[in-house]
Structure formats: C-alpha cells, structure tokens
C-alpha cells in the first residue's frame, strides 16, 4: 500500500490570468511541517494569525493550476473568495481529515457543481468573455448557507470571517 500525496481539485469559479484564460483544475500535495513552518520565517508574515500565512502556505502546496505549472502567492491572492475558501477547506480535509471526510467533501462539491454567473460558461468563453461571479449577500459559497456545515463542521463563510477580529 502506498501513501497518496497528490490530490486533484476543481475550483468553483477559477483563476483568471492576465490573458483572460480561466484555470479551474489543479493539483495539491500533502503539506509537510516545513510548508507550515517556513512561511513563519518570512518577514512579511506577522505571526500565525496573519491572514497572508494562508496565501503563502497554499502557494507552496498547490502544484498546478490549469496550465500554470508554477503557482505563486500572486495567483492565490487573485483567486475569487469562493475559490480561496474552497482551497482552504480542501487543504484541511486532505491534510487533517479522514477518508470518509474527504469522500464527503468531494460528494458535496460534486453535487453543487461549478458556480455560475450571468453570461457564457467560463470554461468555453473566449478570452476576456468570462462570466462574472455571482455575488452572495451572506458571503458564503454557492450551494451553502450559514447554517450548512461542511465535512469538518465548517459553515459556508467568506474569507474575511477567517481573519482574526483584531487584524480587521
């Protein structure tokens, strides 16, 4: 039996690069202790509660995003909020969850399908013609409400709710 260390994912909306191409599928690897500790040595990170820490850690473990073979903090910072929330949850379930929680996460997101906005399908739209993301008054993800709990009991929420109150 071998240990699975890489997991494929599909973002709900997708990263839109400078040329207007949408990148939705990707690969994330399991995090190492170094992936979580090394960013704390970065002088731009103010400590374990710094919201930028999430960005730096995700950039270290996301190995591919669409056709991008190198994912940096720049790409993670420019994700839509729903995609950042998805990657945070995905990171949690592959690194700390059980196989049942991973399966439930995949089932939950397969049922919801990709988020859609008004306009053409972002996967097939010509460059510069992507659909606009749908705004949600509650800041939650598509297909969830503040009373819905994910596989780890985390309700749908906006990324700002992850930032400690004293830093807002």
At residue 113, the pLDDT reads: 67
pTM of the model: 0.69
Which parts of the chain have pLDDT scores under 50? 116-161, 163-165, 167-168
Q: What is the Rg, in whole angstroms, of the alpha carbon atoms belonging to the chain?
A: 16
Can you give the residue ranges of every domain in the chain? 6-117+132-167
Residue partners of 130: CB distance under 8 A and separation at least 6:
14, 16, 20, 22, 119, 120, 122
At residue 122, the pLDDT reads: 42
At residue 71, the pLDDT reads: 97
Q: Could you report how far apart the first and last alpha carbons of the chain are, in Å?
A: 46
Q: Fill in the DSSP letter of residue 27.
A: E
């Amino acid at each position: 039996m071998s240990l699975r260390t890489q997991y494929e994912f599909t973002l709900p909306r997708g990263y839109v690069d400078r040329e207007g191409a949408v990148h939705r599928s990707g690969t994330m690897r399991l995090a190492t202790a170094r992936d979580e500790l090394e960013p704390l040595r970065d002088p731009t990170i103010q400590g374990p509660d710094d919201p930028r820490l999430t960005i730096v850690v995700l950039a270290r473990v996301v190995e591919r995003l669409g056709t991008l073979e190198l994912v940096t903090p720049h790409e993670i910072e420019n994700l839509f909020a729903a995609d950042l929330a998805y990657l945070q949850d995905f990171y949690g379930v592959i690194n700390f969850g059980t196989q049942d929680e991973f399966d439930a996460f995949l089932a939950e997101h397969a049922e919801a399908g990709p988020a859609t906005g008004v306009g053409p399908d972002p996967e097939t739209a010509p460059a510069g013609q992507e659909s606009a993301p749908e705004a949600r008054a509650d800041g939650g993800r598509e297909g969830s409400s503040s009373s819905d709990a994910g596989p780890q009991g985390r309700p749908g929420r906006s990324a700002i709710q992850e930032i400690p109150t004293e830093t807002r």
